[in-house]
Amino acid sequence: MSNFLENYQYFPDMEIIGKQIDTIQSNLEHWLSPEILTKCLSMIDLTSLHSTDTMSDIAVLVEKVNNFKGKFPKYPYPASICVYPNFSETIKSKLTAEGVHITVVSGGFPTSQTYKEVKCLESELAVKNGADEVDIVLALNKFLDNDFDACTEEIKAIKSTIGDKTLKVILETGALGSAENIAHASFLAMEAGADFIKTSTGKLEPAATPMAAVVMCECIKRYYEKTGRQVGFKPAGGMKISKDAACYYAIADTILGEKWLNNKFLRFGASRVTNNILSDLEESTITYY
C-alpha cells in the first residue's frame, strides 16, 4: 500500500480532511444556486437496480427520459440511464433522448464475487448490446486479502474487453475501512485503466461520504498532476436531497477545479435526488421519475 501513497505523495490526514469538509459545508450555499443545481441534473446517472426490474419497467423509465424535455424544457437530460447489463438492449432500442448514455453495472455487481472470465464476458455482452459505460466493483475479496496484483489484472482485463467504452471502478469505500485504503484503491484503479473512480454500489452502508469523496478527489488530482490523464469522479449511494449533490459538486470544484465540472468527468449515481433537485428548482413538489 505504501508504494502507491509514496509514489503520489499523498498520505490522508483525517484532521485536514475534516477541516476541508467543514469549510465546504459552511459555505455550501455558494453551490446551491439554480445554475449549479441545473448543471447537477446533467451529471446524474439515472439508476434502476432493483431485483424486481423488468423489461417493461426499464422501458417506462426510458420513455420518461425521452419525454423529459417536453415536460421540463429548461433543464438538461441526465447523463445516462444505469441498469443491470441484461437491459442494455432494451434501452438501446427505445432511447431517443440526445446525448444520454447507456450505463450498466457489470462484473458480478454488487459483490464482484465471481470469475474474472465471467466479469469480462458480462461486460463484453453489455457493450455488444449497446452499453456506452460499464461500472464494475473492485474485487474486494482480493484487495482485502492484499492481492493487489490480481485486482489490477482484473481491471485491466475488463478495460481491454470493452475497448474505448467508459470504465468506472466502484471502490465500495464503506467496506475499505480507512482513508489509506480508499487512497490505495483509488490509485490502483486509475493505474489499471479506470476512466472514473466511483464511491459505492449503494447496496452497502455507508455509501458515499464526504470523507471518501475528499480522499478520492485528492488522489485524482495527484494522479493527473503526475500522468496528465484526467480521471472522472462519481459519488453514488445515499444522495437524497439537493444539498447532497451540491456537497459532492463542491468537493470536486474545490479540489479538482473547473475542468472536472461537466458530465464527462463528474457523475452522480442517484435517482431520488433528481426529483428533489427538480422540486427545489421549480419550488413545487416534482415526482417525475
Q: How far is it, in rounded angstroms, from Cα 255 to Cα 196?
A: 16
Three-class SS state of 272: helix
Residue found under cell 469522479: 233
Q: How far is it, in rounded angstroms, from Cα 186 to Cα 269?
A: 18
What's the DSSP call for residue 137? E
Residue 193, all three cell numbers: 485503466
Q: How far is it, in rounded angstroms, from Cα 97 to Cα 42?
A: 13
What's the DSSP call for residue 204? S
Compute φ and ψ for 198, nearest 5 degrees.
-125, 145
Residues noted as catalytic: 135, 198, 234
Please answer whether residues 242 and 273 qualify as being in contact, where contact means their C-beta atoms are separated by less than 8 angstroms: yes
Q: How far is it, in rounded angstroms, from Cα 20 to Cα 99?
A: 34
Q: How far is it, in rounded angstroms, from Cα 116 to Cα 108?
A: 9
Cis peptide bond prior to 34, omega within 30° of 0: no
Q: How far is it, in rounded angstroms, from Cα 277 to Cα 25?
A: 18
Residue 2, all three cell numbers: 505504501
Please answer whether residues 215 and 199 qualify as being in contact, where contact means their C-beta atoms are separated by less than 8 angstroms: no
Q: What Å distances lie between residue 154 and 42, 51, 59, 92, 278, CA to CA? A: 31, 26, 32, 27, 39
